[in-house]
Amino acid sequence: MSRENPDSETSSPGTVASILSRLKPTGELTDQIIKGGLWATALNVSDRALVLVELVILGRVLGPSQYGLISMCILTIIALRRFTHLGFDEAIIQKPSENVDDYFDTIWTIRVLRGVLVAGVMFAVGPLIASLWGEPRVSEFLRLTGLVLFFVGLQNPAVVYLRKDLEFDKELVFKLSGTVVEFVIAIVLVYRYQTVWAFVIGRIAAEAMRAVVSFKLTSYSPRFDVDVQQTKHLLGYGQWIFSAGLIGFLIGEGDDVFVGWLLGSGALAIYQMSYKISNTPATEISQVLTSVMFPAFSKLQNDIDALRETYKRTVQISSLFSFPAAFGIALVAPEFVHLAFGEEWQSAIVVIQILAGWGLLRSVGHTSGPLLNAVGRPKTVTKIQIVKLSLIAVLIYPVTEAWGIVGTGLLITGNAFVVLPWSLFIVARELETTIHDLLRPTFIPFGASVAMSLVVLATANALPTLPALAALCVKVLLGVLAYVLALAVMLRFVDNSVAELVETVLQSFSN
């Protein structure tokens, strides 16, 4: 993909200079970031909705025992991606320079070689990993999971420009092309054959499709070539992204691995599905924002005032949607599990409700990592992750042994509650402000979410027992109305900053 000279006098209104001039301490968001955020929202909502529906269907058709094998495959794929992730994309996005074409040959060559190596290793050691799980049925599935990384390695590295330049409309096409292919293949195969192969084949096909689409969306054609100096530069920044990714896997998926090893595939299926349901809405909202704001933070890394105001606005938007989503999931968990999965999955209800609290905390905590990475502090992110991991490692065996997956869920949620204040303290110091100032944008969404919960619980207790579907519909409708009303009242008498935010969004499109 060809790039224009950033110093050109003929730069358009959408150039970096225009973006920075509008991201000043007034708190206004630029048209590019707002529209990029909306495209990113469309991307994540569409992508995660399809993935979640796919997994729910697989879980209902196959049951916890067979779905546990899918969970093991998912964890293996995540581990392969994390353990071989070198942070090249983050290093490219963080660079102030607009033209990074020179790096793409090196990046692509390394990724292709990595994919070939991983595919070969997984084919050889799949049975060994299955024996470590204590689940021989998963052996053949694991042997082919390496093909996922093989096709990821073939993807054109120039697609990083879609994130670097906030072109999330094109990234929507890139990501969804694979997700749609996986969804169709997996659903057709699972209904026809009732087999775990439905997921494995679908996931491999998804990354193969993205490899094809990546070359259609970019004009750059990478070739095999490795520049030693470029590799050293990329690894210099990426080593901390790599380290944080390894630790992040142990924090985010280590509990899943431990549950599968200690309690078996059935418990793993229920625990992992509980996580997917409880965390997807809240954390995906925050991930939408962080995917947009990492490149935006990087462009603002030398303007502390604009960076502070943009970060606070990010927290505000995240909490506005993530908080009611987390509270709402906890409220409707009994009806949802009964309708979507059936009696085999009833033990997931309590775990969903516990992990919904984790999702709420993560929606705030997710904003700190992109900011610290953007200002060149990936080492600090790694240190925070190490502290989280240490707390989990010390306590996970006794709590899981004593209380099963409920104990594991309590540990993960409690760990986030303990570490979040420390990470916010680091961010506050970086932005030359206080934790209270950073969290102030969350007060009204939190209050409105609590009010929503009280209204829903009071009404549900007052009404006669309803069928599960009717109860679910009543709770959802009542919750939405109660939250909107509580939010409107609080904004009217306490703070009108959210109204100003909406006006900014509308103004960006009228322009």
Secondary structure (DSSP) of 324-379:
HHHHHHHHHHHHHHHHHT-GGGTTHHHHHHHHHHHHHHHHHHTTHHHHHHHTT-HH
Residues 158 and 266 in one domain: no
Which of 212, 232, 252 finishes a domain?
252
How much is the pLDDT for 29? 43
Q: What is the mean pLDDT of residues 110-132?
A: 93
pLDDT of 16: 37
How far is residue 206's CA from residue 179's CA, in Å, rounded to a whole number? 6
User: How much is the pLDDT for 4?
Assistant: 39
- C-beta atoms surrounding 38 within 10 Å: 17
Query: Does 6 map to a domain?
Result: no
Task: Give the rounded percent of residues in the chain with a pLDDT score beyond 90.
Answer: 48
For residue 15, tell me if it sits in a domain. no
**What's the mean pLDDT when you consider all of the chain?**
83
410 is a domain residue: yes
- The residue segments making up the domain with residue 134 are 27-252
- Answer positive or negative: Cα dihedral of 266, 271, 273, 274: positive
Q: CB-hemisphere CA count at 13 Å for 202?
A: 25
Asked whether residue 163 falls in the same domain as residue 305, the answer is no
Q: What is the pLDDT of residue 292?
A: 65
Are 68 and 55 in contact by the 8 Å Cβ rule? The answer is no
Q: Which amino acid is at 25?
A: P
Band of residue 23 on the pLDDT scale cut at 50, 70, 90: very low
pLDDT of 197 above 80: yes
Q: How far is CA 7 from CA 10, 13, 160, 427, in A?
A: 9, 13, 21, 32
Q: Which of 196, 231, 252 is the last residue of a domain?
A: 252
Q: Which of 162-171, 261-270, 371-380 has the highest mean pLDDT?
A: 261-270
Residues 241 and 262 occupy one common structural domain: no
Q: Is the pTM here over 0.95, yes or no? A: no
pLDDT of 5: 38
Q: Are residues 265 and 236 in the same domain?
A: no
In a domain, 445, yes or no: yes
Pair 57, 195 in one domain: yes
pLDDT of residue 45 exceeding 70, the answer is yes
Cα–Cα distance for residue pair 227/223, rounded to 1 Å: 12
Tell me the per-residue pLDDT of 340-349, one tens digit each, with 9 for 90 and over. 998 899 999 9
Read off the tokens for 266.
Answer: 């059935």
Q: Check residue 332 and give its pLDDT.
A: 94
Q: Do 138 and 271 lie in a common domain?
A: no
Same domain, yes or no, for 221 and 362?
Answer: no
pLDDT digits (tens, 9 = 90+) for 68-98: 999 999 999 999 888 887 777 777 766 655 5
- Domain for residue 302, yes or no? yes
Residue 196 and residue 287 share a domain:
no
pLDDT for position 316: 85
**70 and 49 together in one domain:** yes
322, 282 Cβ separation under 8 angstroms? yes
355 plus 408 within the same structural domain:
yes
Q: Which of 252, 286, 305 is the last residue of a domain?
A: 252
Q: Count up the domains in the chain and report the number.
A: 2
**Residue 199 scores a pLDDT above 90:** yes
Residue 16 domain-assigned?
Answer: no
- Is a pLDDT exceeding 50 seen at residue 8? no
Residue 2 in any domain: the answer is no
Residue 460 pLDDT class (50, 70, 90 cuts): confident
Domain match, 291 and 436 both? yes
Furthest C-alpha separation in the chain = 71
* pLDDT computed for residue 373 by the predictor: 78
Judge if 210 and 277 occupy the same domain: no
Question: CA 82 to CA 129: how far, in whole Å?
Answer: 17
Q: Kindly indicate the confidence band of residue 289, based on its pLDDT and cuts at 50, 70 and 90.
A: low
Place 395 in a pLDDT band, splitting at 50, 70 and 90. very high
Question: In which residue are the tokens 């606070």 written?
Answer: 312
Separation CA 156–CA 215 (nearest Å): 6
